Amino acid sequence: MSKSRIAAVDVGNDSIKAIFGDMDYELNIPNVIARDTEDRPVIGIEDLDSKNPLDGIHVRVHSPALKENGAIFRVGTLATKANNSMELDPGSSKSEEDQTLIMLFTTLAMDAVRKENENLFPHKNNIVDATYLLGTGLPLREAKEGKDAGYRSKLLGSVHQVEFLVTPKYQGIKVNLNFDDVKVYPEGFAAFINLVLDNDGKVINKDLIDKRIIIQDIGGLSTDIAVIKNRTVDDDKAQGFNLGVSESLESIRDEILSRYGVELDSRSDVVEIITKKNDRNHIMVKGSRTSVHDITDRILMELAKKQYRLLRNVWQKNSQTEICYFVGGGSIVLKDYLKTLNNNLEGYNIDFFEDEKESIWMMANAYYKLVKDFERKTKKAKPVTKETTKAAN
């Protein structure tokens, strides 16, 4: 029986962010999959093992939780280059999509198979048995609908297998995934926890503890607005909306293709164009640096107006709110537009995280803090038995 390893995984609509163990390893994988065949063609197959596994994830996934059990996929960066690549669609429920599970299982397998984990998860006949204590989350809308319980039950009590096919370094290895436990947190609550607690569960931001706060988490497919009062999320006032940045990113991608004939591989490519430090809002067209500022400004300002309208409506119903924090990857894309609107209109007390990584990784960090705290409490609660006494001696 293998030992358990902590995994905090944010299955974001743009990418998966995962933190493992004692924060000793991180993974960030584009949330893109593409159906594929078992023997995908590779140029220079003999050099396969010299390449980065993250650039060539090619897997078969077996799980009773999947509607399509045993299907073969390109995952992440490799999938973005496929003509049949799939990203999550607006209006979809994260808890009910096969893609969510495929990305989750593959991310865990990418950690389990690493040489650094051989002492924890022994390799035997190209099979790795790995057990995780998982912390993850769902949008507020799905949590309020009670979908967290069904999502958790899909993961617990079954073995899920990821078989690496034509993947650098890991070809032919199968990873059997088990879960010690699975904690599924509402995303708005998780954001609050990340703001006020450190990794040891100690308060780091006393000023926020007793404030009335709104947290507006803008994701790819949804926006969660959590109202924090008396150190807890007000369940009645917390809301989830089917409004994220993905649809706008697709519109930008489509217009760039239509106007310039330039095809971007994925939404991640659009985000890079919008947020990069140098040559922001520029692309290369036939070798010439070309501005797409008019496209991005028009489309993103329209989305920012919709997001601002959500903020205004929630604030009106919670008039004693002291500050709103915008978090999530979508807040980085819309930050300048939201600030402009706020300066020109109501002038609410709003704030953003200037550290882009902190904002993007906020949910994964929150899940880590929560599941780590759960682990500590579980260990304290375990009764002392003869077996544990022997083990201690």
Does one domain contain both 32 and 156?
yes
Q: How confident is the model at residue 286 (pLDDT cuts 50, 70, 90)?
A: very high
Q: Which of 13, 101, 104, 1 is CA-nearest to residue 329?
A: 13
Q: What is the mean pLDDT of residues 92-96?
A: 87
Among positive and negative, which fits the CA dihedral 378, 379, 385, 390? positive
Residue 252 has pLDDT above 80, yes or no: yes
pTM of the model: 0.85
Residue 98 and residue 119 share a domain: yes
Note the pLDDT tens digit of each residue in 289-319: 999 999 999 999 999 999 999 999 999 999 9
Residue 173 lies in a domain: yes
Q: What CATH number does residue 320 fall under?
A: 3.30.420.40
232: pLDDT strictly greater than 80? no
Mean pLDDT of 95-100: 94
9-13, 62-66, 90-94, range with the lowest pLDDT: 90-94
Among 2-6, 117-121, 200-204, 372-376, name the one with the lowest average pLDDT.
Answer: 200-204
Asked whether residue 344 is assigned to any structural domain, the reply reads: yes
Average pLDDT over residues 111-137: 95
What is the tens place of the pLDDT at every residue in 357-385?
A: 777 888 899 999 999 989 988 887 765 55
Residues 236 and 121 occupy one common structural domain: no
Residue 194 located in a structural domain: no
Residue 138 lies in a domain: yes
pLDDT for 43-57, tens place per residue? 555 467 778 999 999
- Do both 23 and 169 map to the same domain? yes
Distances in whole angstroms, Cα of residue 347 to Cα of each of 113, 224, 324, 325: 50, 21, 12, 14
- Return d(Cα 71, Cα 79) in angstroms, integer: 14
Q: Which amino acid is present at 135?
A: G
Residues 129 and 211 in one domain: no
Question: Within this chain, do residues 136 and 224 fall inside the same structural domain, yes or no?
Answer: no
Same domain, 83 and 225: no
Structural domain including 284 reads 250-294
Is residue 33 domain-resident?
Answer: yes
Task: Write the pLDDT tens digit of every residue in 152-196.
Answer: 999 998 999 999 999 999 999 999 999 999 999 987 677 778 778
Length of the chain: 393
pLDDT for res 354: 67
DSSP string of 35-64, one letter each residue: E--SS---TTGGGGGGS-GGG-EEEEEE-T
Q: Is residue 392 situated within a structural domain?
A: no
Same domain, 237 and 286: no
* Nearest of 245, 248, 249, 229 to residue 237 by alpha carbon: 229
Q: Is residue 184 part of a domain?
A: yes
Claim to verify: residue 265 and residue 171 sit in the same structural domain: no
Flag whether 266 is in a domain. yes
From 356, 352, 369, select the one nearest 215 (Cα to Cα): 352
**Is 321 a residue whose pLDDT tops 50?**
yes
Residue 244 has pLDDT above 50, yes or no: yes
Of 24-33, 35-44, 202-211, 322-331, the range with the highest mean pLDDT is 24-33
Q: Band of the pLDDT at 127, cuts 50, 70, 90?
A: very high
Report the C-alpha gap between 276 and 362 in whole angstroms.
20
- 255 and 118, same structural domain? no
Please report the pLDDT score of residue 44 as a whole number: 54
- What is the distance between the alpha carbons of residues 176 and 271, in angstroms, rounded to a whole number? 34
Q: Are residues 160 and 106 in contact, defined by beta-carbon separation less than 8 angstroms?
A: no
How many folded domains does the chain comprise?
A: 3
Q: Are residues 107 and 230 in the same domain?
A: no
- Render pLDDT for 1-36 as a digit per residue (tens, 0 to 9): 458 999 999 998 888 999 999 999 999 999 999 999
Residues 278, 162 share a domain:
no
Rounded to an integer, what distance in angstroms lies between the CA atom of residue 300 and that of residue 278? 19
Q: Are 273 and 295 in contact (CB under 8 A)?
A: no
